[in-house]
Amino acid sequence: MIDTSLPPSLWADTATPAEDHPALDGDADTDIAIVGGGFTGLSAALHLTARGVKPVVLEAAEAGWGASGRNGGQVIPGLKYDPRELERMFGAETGGRMADAAGRAADLVFDLVAEHAIDCDAVQTGWIQPAHAKAHLKDVHARVEDWQRRGAPVDLLDREQTAALVGTDVYAGGWIDRRAGTVQPLSYARGLARAAASNGATIHARTNVTGLTRAGDRWRLETPKGAVTARAVLLATNGYTDGLWPGLRKTVIPLYSMQIATRPLSENLRRSILPEGQAASDTYRLLTYFRTDAAGRLLIGGRGPFKDRPSSADAAPLRKAMHSLFPQLGDIELDFRWAGRVAVTTDHLPHLHELAPNLYAGLGYNGRGVAMATLMGRFLAELATGVDPKDVPFPMTRPKQIPLHFLRRPMLMAMVQAYRLRDRLDRI
Ligand SMILES: Cc1cc2nc3c(=O)[nH]c(=O)nc-3n(C[C@H](O)[C@H](O)[C@H](O)COP(=O)(O)OP(=O)(O)OC[C@H]3O[C@@H](n4cnc5c(N)ncnc54)[C@H](O)[C@@H]3O)c2cc1C
C-alpha cells in the first residue's frame, strides 16, 4: 500500500496551491475516464476538453503526486534515440514522424503553459548535454548534425564553452538544445489540472481505482466509494502502475531517481554555476542531472535507492557528485532531498498501447517524461476520440511483459554495477 500523502520536496514546498479535487463519492457515468493524474493523465484530460469531451480523472493521491510532481523539471525534447536511429529502427516515414513529434514536445509544454497562463516558473533557456568522456564526442557531433539537418536550434559546445555554461571543467564538451527549458513541475501539474477542470474535466483526487471490467460495451471502474462507467478509458499510471490491468505493471521497470537541493546560492556562486539558466544532464550511463530553480538553489539528481522518502545517508553519493562537479560550493547546506519512480522500458522508448477496445495506455518515458508525457497525453486524447492510429505519430505497440520481472531489483543492481564500471572505463 502506497503512502498517498505528498512527500516533502522542494517542489511541494514552493508550488502554487493545489485546487481541491474531491474524492469520488457515488456513481458516475462519463464518455472517457482517465486513471492517473500526472502529466500524461492531465494532458490527456486537457486535450480532451479541447476536443469537446468532459472527461473524469481518477487519481489515487492528488494531481502531480507521482513522478510528475517530483522530477527535475527539465523539459527536454526528443527521445533517447536520435532521429536517424529512429528512422533506422522504424523506417524513414514512421521514424521521421516520431522524431518530429518528439522534437516538438518541449514546445508543446511551453505552448500549453502560455495558452493556459500556468504559473510554473517556465523558462525556455535550453538544455545542455555535457559529454563525460572524449570518446562520446563523436556521438554528440552526430546528434547535433542530425538535429541541425532538421532545422532544430541546437549547437555543439567545445570544452571551454561547456565549462563556461555549466560552471565546471570536468566535461570534454557537449551540445545545447535551445528548444528545452525548465518548469516547477508540481506547479505545472497543478496548472494542467486547473486548466482541464476549468474547461470541463472532473478530477477526483484520493480515488484509487481498484477494479476495471467490461460491462456490455462500456468500461466499469471500481473505486472505494463508487464506480464510474465510461465508453473509453485511458491508463496514465506509468511508474506507479499497479495490478489494475493484468500485466501492464510488468511492461516497465520502476527505477528510483532522487534529487537534492541546496540553499539559494549567493550571487557569486550563481554567476559561476549555470549562469545562463540552462538545465543539464550528462552522458554517463548512470547520469547526473542538474539545474537551478527560481530562487537560485542548485538541484542535482541521479539514481536513488528504492524509497519514496530517502534519508540523508541516501543523499551522500549525490552530495559527493555535487562537490566533484562544483567544488566552489564548499560545505553548502542542503534544504531538500526527495525521490520518485522513473518507468523504464527495455527498448528505451515510450509505449502507447491499445489494451482492449477503447482502453489505451501511455507509459515508459525513461526519465524524459515532462515533455513526452505531455505529448503522449495528447496522443491518448486523440486515440480515444476516434483519430485513426495511423495519424498518431507514435506507433501503437503490443504490451510485452518483461521476463523475470519479479527479479527486477537484483537485475537492476547488477546493471547499475555494470554501468558504473563502463562509465569509469570511459574516462580512462
Ligand atoms: C526524481 C525524478 C526526476 C525526473 N526528472 C525528469 C526531468 O528532469 N525531465 C523529464 O523529462 N522527466 C523527468 N522524470 C520523469 C517524469 O517525471 C515522468 O516521466 C513523468 O512525470 C510521468 O508522468 P505520468 O503522468 O505518466 O506519471 P506519474 O506522474 O507518475 O503519475 C501516475 C499517477 O497515477 C496514479 N495512479 C497509479 N495507479 C492508480 C490507480 N489504480 N488509481 C488511481 N490513480 C493511480 C498515481 O497516484 C500517480 O499520481 C523524472 C522522474 C523522477 C521520479
Count other C-beta atoms under 10 Å from residue 123's C-beta.
Answer: 15
Question: If we measure between CA atoms, which residue out of 326, 275, 269 comes closest to residue 300?
Answer: 326
Matching residue, cell 552530495? 319
Nearest-CA residue for atom 9 of ligand 1: 74
Question: If we measure between CA atoms, which residue out of 164, 173, 201 comes closest to residue 31?
Answer: 201
CA distance linking residue 16 with residue 184, whole number of Å? 9
Decide: 334 and 260 in contact? Cβ < 8 Å: yes
pLDDT tens for each residue of 274-312: 999 999 999 987 789 999 999 999 999 998 888 889 999
Q: Measuring from each residue's beta carbon to the nearest atom of ligand 1, which residues come in under 6 Å? A: 35-41, 58-61, 65-68, 70-74, 76, 208-209, 236-240, 242, 244, 257, 259, 289, 301, 339-342, 363, 365, 367-371, 373
What atom in ligand 1 is closest to the CA of residue 289? 8
Nearest-CA residue for atom 21 of ligand 1: 68
Which residues on neighbouring strands pair with residue 213, listed in sequence order?
220
Ligand 1: which of 34, 121, 318, 342 to mutate, most ligand atoms within 8 Å of CB?
A: 342
Task: Please name the amino acid found at residue 83.
Answer: P
Nearest-CA residue for atom 18 of ligand 1: 369
CA distance linking residue 253 with residue 266, whole number of Å? 39
The distance of Cα 219 from the centroid of its chain, to the nearest Å, equals: 28
CA distance linking residue 60 with residue 46, whole number of Å? 19
**What is the distance between the terminal CA atoms of the chain, rounded to a whole angstrom?**
45
Question: If we measure between CA atoms, which residue out of 241, 273, 260, 271 comes closest to residue 361?
Answer: 241
What is the grid cell recorded at 271? 554567476
- CA–CA distance from 71 to each of 169, 290, 324 (Å)? 26, 11, 23
Ligand 1: which of 314, 370, 380 to mutate, most ligand atoms within 8 Å of CB?
A: 370
Q: 3-state DSSP call for residue 198? A: helix
Phi (first) and psi of residue 244, to 5 degrees: -55, -45
Which residues on neighbouring strands pair with residue 414, listed in sequence order?
none
CA distance linking residue 394 with residue 388, whole number of Å? 12
Helices (H), 224-297: 267-272
Rounded to the nearest 10 degrees, what angle do helices 185-198 and 105-115 cross at? 60
Angle at 198 between CA 197 and CA 202, to 5 degrees: 25
Nearest-CA residue for atom 41 of ligand 1: 209
What atom in ligand 1 is closest to the CA of residue 42? 25
CA–centroid distance, 160 to ligand 1, in Å, is: 36
Q: 3-state DSSP call for residue 82? A: coil
CA–centroid distance, 259 to ligand 1, in Å, is: 15
Strand residues in 322-367 grouped as ranges (E): 334-344, 351-356, 359-363
| Length, in residues, of the chain | 428
The per-residue pLDDT for 1 is 56
What is the grid cell recorded at 304? 536513488
Ligand 1: which of 365, 372, 378 to mutate, most ligand atoms within 8 Å of CB?
A: 365
The per-residue pLDDT for 428 is 66
Q: What is the largest CA-CA distance in the chain?
A: 66
Which residues on neighbouring strands pair with residue 167, listed in sequence order?
none
CA dihedral 27→32→33→38, nearest 10 degrees, is -150
CA–centroid distance, 83 to ligand 1, in Å, is: 25
What atom in ligand 1 is closest to the CA of residue 76? 11
What atom in ligand 1 is closest to the CA of residue 371? 11
Nearest-CA residue for atom 4 of ligand 1: 71
What is the grid cell recorded at 120? 510554473
Residues of the chain below pLDDT 70: 1, 404, 418, 427-428
CA–centroid distance, 424 to ligand 1, in Å, is: 30
What atom in ligand 1 is closest to the CA of residue 242? 38
Q: What is the DSSP letter of 246?
A: T
Which residues on neighbouring strands pair with residue 30, listed in sequence order?
230
